[in-house]
Amino acid sequence: MSRMNLKRARETFPEIYERIKSQSPEHHFEFNDPFWVLITTIMSHRTKDEVTDRAARNLHTRYGTADRLSEASYEEVLSLISRVGFSKVKAQRVIDAARIIVEDFSGNVPDTIEELTTIPGVGRKTANVVLADAFRKPAIAVDTHVHRISNRIGWSKTKNPEDTEEVLKKIIPEEYWLGFNPMLVEFGKVICRPIGPRCGECRITEFCEYYGKLQKEESSKKKSANKGKK
């Protein structure tokens, strides 16, 4: 199925946005300090939010600052974040990120995507989360929820988050960028779930290509079943 017409996507976006917002719980932010937003987001890949937040709290309680985390032992950091996905890789990444912030950026998290993505383990999604959630700079962070929901609705038909981000920037007015990721994250948890999406409860089905496809498949099955009875 091809991507939704760009003109239609732009025209219908505000209505879709408001309906999604009405079904999305308020997103919990564990930190708003740029450094700890960065560290938390580095650990968040393929990890449930509650597990990520607990690990981030462990690090924050034990170290508190970029200086102290940069000097932490790998074994101790690993023990504190052991429940996050790929913890062995991420333990070294958060130590390295802290060291780079201290040594290369004088202890201050940079506020540009170009500088943020020079830090190992920081891709565009993580950088955009830091820009939007910590610095309040307009940015669209595309994680698995945003990528999945955008493709289901028909805003995009992309295979990777980077391409999804570029498409969304053409559709979404900049004044909606802040808060867009957290809203879709929550919508993706409670309604547009990866497995077993709650289409029967969803308020945007009339705009959703995924739902339209399901309806056509169901209609086709009924027709086939009726033919078989004749």
**pLDDT > 90? residue 56:** yes
Q: Quick one: tokens of 118?
A: 């020079």
Nearest to 20 by CA among 195, 194, 191, 197: 191
Specify the higher pLDDT residue, 226 or 108: 108
Q: Quick one: tokens of 124?
A: 């565009």
Residue 150 makes CB contacts below 8 A (sequence gap 6+) with 142, 156, 158, 164, 167, 168
Distance CA 220, CA 177 (A): 39
**pLDDT > 70? residue 226:** no
Q: What is the pLDDT of residue 40?
A: 97
Q: Quick one: tokens of 95?
A: 């130590």
DSSP 71-111: T--HHHHHHHSTTSTTHHHHHHHHHHHHHHHHHHSTT----
Q: Is 122 helix (H, G, I), strand (E, B) or coil?
A: coil
Distance CA 203, CA 136 (A): 29
Q: Quick one: tokens of 27?
A: 């997103």
Of 104, 125, 227, 229, the active-site residue reads 125
Q: What's domain 34-134's architecture?
A: Orthogonal Bundle (1.10)
* Single-letter residue type at 177: W
Verify whether residue 223 is a known catalytic residue: no
**pLDDT > 60? residue 230:** no
How much is the mean pLDDT over the chain? 95
Nearest to 179 by CA among 34, 53, 10, 20: 20
In this prediction, residues 62-70 reach a mean pLDDT of 98
**Intra-chain end-to-end CA distance of the chain, in Å:** 33
**pLDDT > 50? residue 71:** yes
- Provide the residue ranges of all domains of the chain, joining segments of one domain with +: 1-26+141-230, 34-134
Domains 1-26+141-230 and 34-134 share a fold: no
Of 53, 90, 133, 143, the active-site residue reads 143
In this prediction, residues 182-198 reach a mean pLDDT of 97
Fold of 1-26+141-230: Endonuclease Iii, domain 2 (1.10.1670)
Q: Is 139 helix (H, G, I), strand (E, B) or coil?
A: coil
Verify whether residue 143 is a known catalytic residue: yes
Q: What is the pLDDT of residue 1?
A: 40
